[in-house]
Amino acid sequence: MSKKILIVEDDDDILALLKDVLEKDGFEVTGLNHTESIIKSITKHQAELVILDFLLPGINGGELCHEVKCQKSPGAIPVIMLSAFPRVLESLGDYGADIFMAKPFNIDELLKAVHSCLGAELATA
């Protein structure tokens, strides 16, 4: 059974790229431009990993990450945070994210991060 990943990213091009790359690597991916409740979205999609953009309309991904990490049940879910503004994250903290990656990111490095968070073996081409 493939691992389930939830991506919350407001840039449609980046969201499509992430979905394509991760689905080709065997993951089941749900992509959202926004979420009213990150916990409900995780539960609904049975996500085992969350990838969050830091800057989202109306809320920052750091606050969503903090919500995930404060939950008893979903708190163990790993979170990868992406941001085109790494200095903002350096000044505000990582909100408990397991991995932070600056945009633009290297696809191979992203895949390694995903596999590391999920304890999955990296596929070889």
Instruction: Return all residues near 80 (Cβ < 8 A) that are at least 6 apart.
Output: 49, 50, 51, 52, 97, 98, 99, 100, 101, 110, 113, 114, 117
- DSSP label of 76: G
Q: How many CA atoms lie within 13 A of 68 on its CB side?
A: 29
pLDDT in tens, 71-94: 866 558 999 999 887 776 566 666
Which segments of the chain have a pLDDT < 70?
1, 72-75, 88-94, 120-125
Q: Give the global pTM.
A: 0.89
Query: Which pLDDT belongs to residue 125?
Result: 43
Domain 4-118 CATH superfamily: Response regulator (3.40.50.2300)
Closest CA to 8 of 81, 58, 73: 81
Closest CA to 30 of 19, 43, 14: 19
Query: Which pLDDT belongs to residue 124?
Result: 47
